[in-house]
Amino acid sequence: MAEEGWIEARQDGRGLAFAAGGRWLVSGARTLDRRLAAIDRSVGGRSGLRRVRIDCGKIEALGTVGAGVMLRLQAALARRRAAGAVRKLAGRFVPLLGQAEKYVPAPPAIPAAAGPLDLLAQLGSWAVANAREAAAVLSFFGLVVVTGLGTFRHIGRVRLVAFVSHMQRTGVSALPIVGLLSFLIGIVVSYQGAEQLRYFGAEIFTVNLLGIGFLRELGVLMTAIIVAGRSGSAFTAEIGTMRVNEEVDALTTLGLEPMEVLVWPRIAALVITLPLLTFYANVMGLLGGAFICDTALGIPLPLFLQQLHGAVTGWTFWLGILKAPFFAVCIAL
C-alpha cells in the first residue's frame, strides 16, 4: 500500500525548508491539515523568514484537495511575508497545481495585530468605500428622477398593471401583519406608560402619550420597518434574481428601459401605499391602546376619545403621514 501524504519542517544551513512526500489525495487531507497546523504553531514565532523552500520531490500522487493544501501552506507563509517556493515537483503535477491556483479559494488571512498606521489605513478604506457607495446611491437616485420625469411627460408609458400589482403586494398583503403588530404595540405602550404615570396619579395622560407618540412617530416608524423587511427584501430578491438570469439584459435588448419597467412601478406603488398603511397602523395602535385602557386602566372609551381629541391636533396626525412617502422612497431605493 502506498504511503499516505506527509510533510515535515527541516532546518538547514540556508534556513527553513519543508519536505513533502507520499500521496496527497483527499483520503489523507485531514491528516495533512493537522500536520500543517502543528507545523504552523511550531514555526509561528520565528522571525526573519523571507524565502522558504518546499521540497516536493517525494510526492507520488497529487489530487485537487492535495493541491489546495499545498496552496494553504504557501498562503500561511505569505502571511508571514515569506515566499514559499515549490521545488522538485514532478512535471505531471505542475498543471494541476496551476489550475488549483485559479479555482481553489484561498484560505482567510489571519489578521495581524493592528498598529496605529493600520487603524488609520482601515479608517481611510472604510471612508473611501462609503463615499463610493454614497455616490452610487446618489447616481441611482438621479437616474430614477430623470426616468420618472420622462415617464410623466409620456403618461401612456406608465405600466398600470404592474403598478396596481405592486400596490396589492406591498399594501393589501401587508395589512394583517401591520395591523397585528400595531395593535400589540399600542397595548404595550399604553400599559407601560400607565405604570409610570400611576406614581403621579396621572394615568389619564396615558391617552396623550399613546396618541401623540403613535400618530407622530411610532405608527410610521413601525410600518416602515415592517415594509422594509417584507417588501424591500422582496424587491431586492426579485431584481437580483432577474439580473442573475440575465432578464434585465433581455429587457434592454428588446428596447425596454429597465428603470421604467422594474424600478418606477415599485417606487410609485410604495410611495402611495405606505401613507395608507401608516394611517391603518395609527388606527390599529389607538384601538389597542383604547382596549387596554378600558379593560385594565379604568378609562372607558368615551373618556379615551375625549382625552385623545384634546391631546391631538391636526398637525400631530399629518406630521406622521407626511414622513411616510420619504420613508417609502428610501426603502424602495
| pLDDT score, position 44 | 55
Rounded-to-5 percentages of helix, strand, coil across the chain = 75, 10, 15
Q: How far apart are CA 238 and CA 265, in angstroms?
A: 14
User: How does strand 83-87 pair with strand 51-62?
Assistant: parallel
Q: How far apart are CA 293 and CA 285, in angstroms?
A: 12
> 51 or 46, which is more confident?
51
pLDDT at 184 over 90: yes
> Average pLDDT, stretch 221-226?
92
Distance of CA 62 to the CA centre of its chain: 39
Q: Of 225, 227, 203, 220, give the one whose Cα is nearest residue 289.
A: 203
Question: Which residues make beta-bridge pairs with 59?
Answer: 22
Q: Across 79-83, 107-111, 122-126, which has the greatest mean pLDDT?
A: 122-126
**Cell numbers at 208, concatenated:** 396623550
**Model confidence at 42, in pLDDT bands (50, 70, 90)?**
low
| pLDDT score, position 112 | 53
pLDDT at 52 over 50: yes
pLDDT at 108 over 60: no
- Number of Cβ within a 10 Å radius of residue 161: 8
pLDDT tens for each residue of 275-321: 999 999 999 999 999 999 888 888 888 888 888 888 888 788 888 89
| pLDDT score, position 105 | 59
Question: Out of 35-39, 246-250, 261-265, 303-307, which region has the weakest mean confidence (pLDDT)?
Answer: 35-39
Torsion sign over Cα 138, 144, 146, 152: negative
Q: Across 1-15, 105-119, 271-285, which has the greatest mean pLDDT?
A: 271-285
Contact present, 24 and 59 (Cβ < 8 Å): yes
**Model confidence at 40, in pLDDT bands (50, 70, 90)?**
low
| pLDDT score, position 1 | 43
> Average pLDDT, stretch 162-184?
89
**Cell numbers at 73, concatenated:** 501552506
Residue with cell 527553513: 16
| pLDDT score, position 109 | 47
pLDDT averaged over the chain?
81
Q: What is the DSSP string of 253-291?
A: HTT--HIIIIIHHHHHHHHHHHHHHHHHHHHHHHHHHHH
Q: Of 266, 277, 273, give the one whose Cα is nearest residue 234.
A: 266
> 180 or 96, which is more confident?
180
H or E, element range at 86: strand 83-87
User: Phi then psi for 303, rounded to 5 degrees?
Assistant: -65, -35
Question: Which residues make beta-bridge pairs with 84?
Answer: 52
